[in-house]
A and B are shown apart, each in its own frame.
Chain A
Amino acid sequence: MQFDPFVIPFNIGLYFILIYVITRSVIWFRDLSKPDKLRLQRGFFGIAFGMSLKEIFMESLIHRKILKTNLRLGYMHMSLAFGWFLLILFGTIEADIFGARHLNAPYKAIFFRFFNPEHGKTGFEAAYGFLMDLILAFILSGLLLAVLKRFYSKIVGMKKTTRLKLTDKIALTSLWLIFPSRLLAESFTSGAYGTGSFLTGTLGTWLATFLPARQMAYPFWWLYSLSLGTFFILLPITRYMHIPTELFLIFMRNSGIKTGDKAGTYSEVQTYSCSSCGICIDACQLNFSAGITNIQSAYLMKAIRNNDDVTDIAYNCLMCGRCDQKCPVGIELSPIRMIQRRGGEAENDIRNIYKGYFRSRQSVNPENEIIQANYNFLKEEEPGKTDIIYFAGCMTHLTPAIKKSMVKILDASGLKYNFIDEHGGVCCGRPLMLSGQDKEARELINFNSRMIWKSGAHTLVTSCPICYKVFKESYYLDVKVLHHTQFIKMLIDDGLVKMNFLHKKVVYHSPCDLGRGSGVYCEPKEVISHLARLEKSSFEDENSLCCGGSLANMKLSSSIKKKIALDAVNALTKNNPDILATACPLCKKTFSSVTEIKIADIAEIAAEALIAKPLKIYSSSHLTSIKELANI
């Protein structure tokens, strides 16, 4: 039996982390809702499992997404993750082939050179040793980048890197020590026995010329084992927990589990899967426009993990969703932030002594005081029967040019419609939802739903992406919900309206709730290119900016919001367009207040381009798209 006391720290750490991960998985699985448990079981025997393996390989080891956005940062992550994986894999094979026996204890593979110092003399052994050295060199190159990144983040092409807490620092140090100590331990051993390949061999031979290699090796083997052990034991309470957790995340996601609106296993798994890589920090406009660098999603995830008070972080966010798009792990950051908002100001009282290792479950929504949030005082008017409802929304009432344009277009279309909130209406409910007050919002939703249902309409057109999102996601309506850009597109396609071509340069700003929030990217641009010359900007589609006027952030001062707006306008209007077009009344208002450049909603441009024709009421049955809608 090959054994040496120095392997004890490693063994303790390894078995600790294995038992921990198993316990943790059991707890996580137990806490899943019944449907999610079923999904997971189905996923395990289905295609999800294979897909997950592939994704784990591509994302957790190769880090494809990071590589695509940032080559150097991706290389750093890849060399550490993939390199370490290869080292373990080939180390195990090495121990299995060349070791005294097959099926060795893990430590035999990790400390193979110590127990087999003479190994590497024959040709095949030397070739294998070369491979192992190559892998180690690969990891060390990544480690070098990581160390540099910590002190000088621009080296990997990042403007900001995450700040660390003490345990993170200790874990980081132990992680950093693992590979250099392995290198030195192996080199000294190789130096003493005249083995080792191009890296360990060369370094070992050179070190042996002026140091007592045999005696020097032993302490480094201890250091190697100790740093591994420390790293494993600290892993659950540091960001490195993301290493095992991400595997669960990928599998759960592929099985079809979603974040939902309550805290649960999936949101917790996602929270732990955040590696604090800091990509979200660079993506965040609060960082690069306003210099606020403590509220980004990486910090939110960390604060949740640490059971810190997250109220300030959770609310100081535009909810623009830029970080969701950029997150290489694919964490649903905005929904998790919303869960924190819904959690309100409630405290996590129940803290146990192992809170770092088994944190108390996140508090569920505290019951708000019973507020008589009903809207009985509002007159519920009987809406006339109609095909199409136009719901302008509060913000559109504050930008009457959009409202007027839509009325002009709707009149010209000849379709039977009802401008349901022409003389004032009830809020769609999203602002309340964004501040975490779902119950109160539900009252508004019910009120509006009744109105819409009574009208018998098959299509609801709204001018405001904020309304659009909530109508689509949180209303249970048997109507097709369209943003007015989609509706105008449809009118043009069906030949219901004719438009002139305006010889103007137009740049499109995609509103957060319409683009990233609801996935409507194409129709607005198609309408613009039908009407005018659509110019490209450097912030298209998923990468579009937030105007800064977001309803979701009530923490920012006006001047900061203006700064964000101004930066966004400047970035979008680099090529001096005639019009900066948007499809959201709030974006329009926000931009108009900071620039002299003409800001217009797509509806306004369309109304300007509209060729007037005599008013005629069509029956909706003649029209293709509209007819399709009626059949839903």
Chain B
Amino acid sequence: MTELAVQLGCVAALLAVAVVAAPLSRTPRLATAIIYGATLIVCAVATASALTWLLLHADAAAERVLPIGLPWLGAHLRLDALAAFFLVVINLGGTLASLYALGYGRHEHAPHRVLPFYPAFLAGMNLVVLAADAFSYLLSWEFMSLASWALVMAHHRDASNRRAGYVYLVMASFGTLMLLLAFGLLAGSAGNYDFAAIRAAQHTPYVATLVLILLLLGAGSKAGLVPLHVWLPLAHPAAPSHVSALMSGVMTKVAIYGFIRVVFDLLGTPDWSTSGIVLALGGVTAALGILYALMEKDLKRLLAYSTIENVGIIFVSLGLALAFQTNHQPIPAALAFTAALFHVLNHSLFKSLLFFGAGAVLSVTGERDMDRLGGLIHRMPFTSVVFLIGSVAISALPPFNGFVSEWLIFQAVLQSPQLPQWGLKILVPAVGGLMALAAALAAACFVKAYGVTFLGRPRGAATLAAKEVDRFSLAAMAILAALCLLAGVLPGLVMDALAPIATEILGSRLAPQSGMAWLSIVPIAQSHSSYNGLLVAVFIAVSASLSFGAIRLVSSGAVRRGPAWGCGFTDPVPLAQYSAAGFAQPIRRVFGTLMFRARDHVTMPPPGDIAPARLRIELHDQIWERIYAPLAGGIMAASVRLNRMQLLTIRGYLSLVFVTLVTLLLVLAIWT
């Protein structure tokens, strides 16, 4: 019970900080230190208390009703294992983002537009997870959306940011409308908005399917499911980097929390076919998200697109859990569910790390375009090491955490022959194939991101002047990198901590992992598969240092500096290096023609002309052009026509009311 009180206290404290921030931000330097210091402490306390709950009282649930909100409903707040886990994710992200911002925030040129909204945004996300009735849930959801919108609009002088904010606002309203309809369906005509009452009620299969689809639209638009993702790569990079990290690493998780809470907890057991929708959408999202990321040369946008890929992976895993759960196969369901939650945690860690790294690069070079960066490993050695760790982790390579969760998801995919329905039997391996494709493309994508940004030679003047960032930022990134390694090496501990959530939501759990020999994890049975992160890590470390030692032993220790080989060019200028677009070219050739109608235009000057040859790449975002542009055009055309209705005469208006009334009555008379 005390943990819930602590959580509520933390939310209240964050809101208080938000209120104090407005007058304080007249003295930016002081305010930056105070506000981020305060949020750091509050989030750390909240993380600790949520973690305590998850580890000690995970099978219990604390509930409290506050007399605010709707008079007959109040504000129901509930802390259970699922909520506690997501509170850990949110507040861990909040703690580290605040730590990072203690240094990064000093470069902010409009602190008064960031400082008040940052704690409010954190408070909003915490409240969404704590809410236990539809009204407070939607209210906190909107609060979170608006606070993050304000942060996206922090640098509103830039026209592209204003557009991002507009698209975000439209999509957020759409998402909330879908959630509103979903809760309306769940509450039924009796109007039971309390989650406990919704959970107790029986929902017809028709309603359950409809609610699941509405949730996919509502929570999915916030999480970034294709084709509702359009706002995400615009809005996430537009915010200051620590906020980008929170939006990408944490806010998408809040949306996933909403999906889990409603579909797995409140809805009962929907029809098996609904899991096919989730699986297919997740697979398409994973593959398309990473393809978009590969085409991108803006570092922060690349990270935002990669978030879409990871959200797709999580939804695939949730779809698997749903498929197994609806077929009453508890152990595979628990495996898929645990894997999804594990990936939620992992993605929040490495995506925050990568956004912090991108922010560090941005703050010292002022550049987000990878084709103007390069060679940063010499000037920012520490940042480049942690960014490398983040890249390795997100590419799902052992011994880091990304590998473990994706491995678990693939273990769940391999259980699909147990499913009785042929549709799922065929769909799941296909989605598994899409995920494998996405995983390979993700590795390529991050080789590109890391290689072009940190390796090679500097491509621009901004990069030459770069130097290592401040200690706060480095500390935040170092902690995240350490957590990535820790979760990868000791996955059994994380899986055991997640087990009570599966018990609470699905009623089944995986076997305890902490008793296994040598800290391996065995999700199903020893004969099937097992993975030992520690062993792999030790092996990699030992073999790498042995080969390093051997090479040093054989080679001479002297450092020689010679001219770089210019591939036959006589004047190897840095711009002639491998570029981001060049790296992606083979993949663009394979997939781009279909997905993006990609076309390379080469302008070759005639012999004798000394003008340079030019290569122009033409890409079309098909989803935007095929779905959103016609939709926006239609709405615009309709509103231009309807605009004439704004200026009717008094009698015109009266006639309008009259005709409408009579028409409605006529419809009623004919219908009944």
Binding partners A and B: no
Residues on A facing B (Cβ under 8 Å): none
Residues of B within 8 A of A (CB): none
